[in-house]
Amino acid sequence: MMNRAVLLCAFVTSLSFGQAPQPDPQDLKNLVAPIALYPDMLLSQVLAASTYPAEITEARNWMRQNPGLRGRQLIEAAKQQNWDPSVQALVAFPEAMDLLTRDIQWTTDLGNAFLSQQAAVMDAIQQLRASARANGRLNDTPQQRVTYEQENGQNAIVIQPTDPQTVYAPIYNPVYVWGPPMVGYYPPLGYPAPGYGVGFAVGTFLGGLFSGLLSFGGWGWGLSWLSHGLFLNGLFFNHFGFHGYSGPGYGHVAWAHNASHRLGVPYGGHYAAGGHNGPHFAGGARTSGGNGGRTYNSPRPGNSYAGSGYHNTNRQAEAYRALSAGSARSGASHNSAPAYRGESANRGAVSHGWSAPSSNYRATARNSGGHSSAPHYKAPKSSGHSGGGHSSGHGHSGGGGGHSHGGSHKK
């Protein structure tokens, strides 16, 4: 009887403080599966940007409204927008931008989970990487190198681009990498068929967008797996300049969420059960209110992909609602990575891309000196473009005397 009273008291206390049970590990694995194999440079930025879903929506719409911007011109224009730097730099990675805007509720859930359970989210990613490594789905390729971060007998899997200045976003179906989840479902984001394997969008040459990148400490975001940290490279921001960045201009500093870029998106819901106003929260007041969110460890809902209660006063509410409504209408209807229109120089070689038709097509790619064919899959029409002149649709790219066809490099 005493134990029951204690449990009841604890339950009431948790309700009083607005807390709820934390999502279980399998739920987090399902949530992060679409990005778990992203290289660390891009993954760190995506995790930070996911905490600003409204600004991601705004950036995507801005890209569509400015199709003539290319390369450095695109980056310089984006750096002047009123977005968090993680969102400003996201225009350099059209494949990641597309993934994050296919289902804005998933992006919101991902950001809320990272804010409230940063260590658990990073552990879930590591567990998925370890499983993919063990079953042969995560390997060294011409696009990436898989290494380990080690300290005090612990180790973590690190994914880095083979060329530190050229980043490739992987394209894969989580079912191919890990099989169906033990419980629940993967976020319905329009993956290629499982038989596609693991491919890569055409790389983004950061060295062309940020001249002298390696001389200023490399990319602006990074992960410290064993300490569960996301850090910023102050030297990068100090030299290349991003509107709104107010941190130190030197060294590595811990990333902090800036609530002023949240634009009214609620922090509440399934993935913010434990709150997030700890050491990773800075700037502005916390916005309360229910988010709803989803759980990915229960039977998959029907067309329940609506947005999460924006306030009419924020500048991006209508665009967010429109995007959410589009997700609700389409559900998991698109089943491929998108194509982007772009043309720019890549270290003396020219890359051309174009929007793929909405009908099925076969993409081919150069891979270790040979050509391989990707399976048929449907690509949605797109008027987007590549931030660095590297398109993630069909493309032709030269370099090293080689010539490749296709928007993805398949391994």
Task: From first to last of the 411 residues of the chain, give the pLDDT tens digit.
Answer: 444 444 444 433 333 334 445 668 899 999 999 999 999 999 999 999 999 999 999 999 999 999 999 999 999 999 999 999 999 999 999 999 999 999 999 999 999 999 999 999 999 999 999 999 999 999 999 999 999 999 888 999 999 999 999 999 999 999 999 999 999 999 999 999 999 999 999 999 999 999 999 989 899 999 999 999 999 998 999 889 887 776 676 778 999 999 999 999 988 767 765 444 333 444 443 333 344 578 887 776 543 323 332 233 343 344 344 444 444 444 333 333 333 222 233 322 222 222 222 222 223 233 333 333 232 223 333 333 333 434 333 333 333 333 333 344 555
Strand partners, 232: 221, 253
Widest Cα–Cα separation across the chain: 78
Number of domains in the chain: 1
Q: In this structure, what are the phi and psi dihedrals at residue 56, rounded to the nearest 5 degrees? A: -65, -45
Residue 315 within a domain: yes
Q: In this structure, what are the phi and psi dihedrals at residue 18, rounded to the nearest 5 degrees? A: 70, 25
Residue 10 within a domain: no
Residue 327 within a domain: yes
Packing angle between helix 53-65 and helix 317-330, nearest 10 degrees? 90
Q: Which residues contact 4 (CB under 8 A, 6 or more apart)?
A: none
Helix count (H) and strand count (E) of the chain? 13, 20
Cβ-count burial of 401 within 10 angstroms (0-12 exposed, 13-18 middle, 19+ buried)? exposed
Q: In this structure, what are the phi and psi dihedrals at residue 350, rounded to the nearest 5 degrees? A: -105, 135
State how far the Cα of 87 lies from the Cα of 57, in Å rounded to an integer: 10
Which domain covers residue 104, as residue numbers?
Answer: 23-410
Burial 55-89, CB ≥16 within 10 A → b, else e: bbbbbbbbbeeeeebbbbebbeebbebebbbbbbb
Residue 5 within a domain: no
First to last CA, the chain: 60
Contact yes or no for 202/156 (Cβ under 8 A): no
**Strands 360-361 and 402-405, bridge-based pairing:** unpaired
Residue 8 within a domain: no
Residue 123 within a domain: yes
Structure tokens at 307: 């947005």
Q: pLDDT for 100-135, tens place per residue? A: 999 999 999 999 999 999 999 999 999 999 999 999
Residue 3 within a domain: no
Residue 194 within a domain: yes
Structure tokens at 238: 């100090």
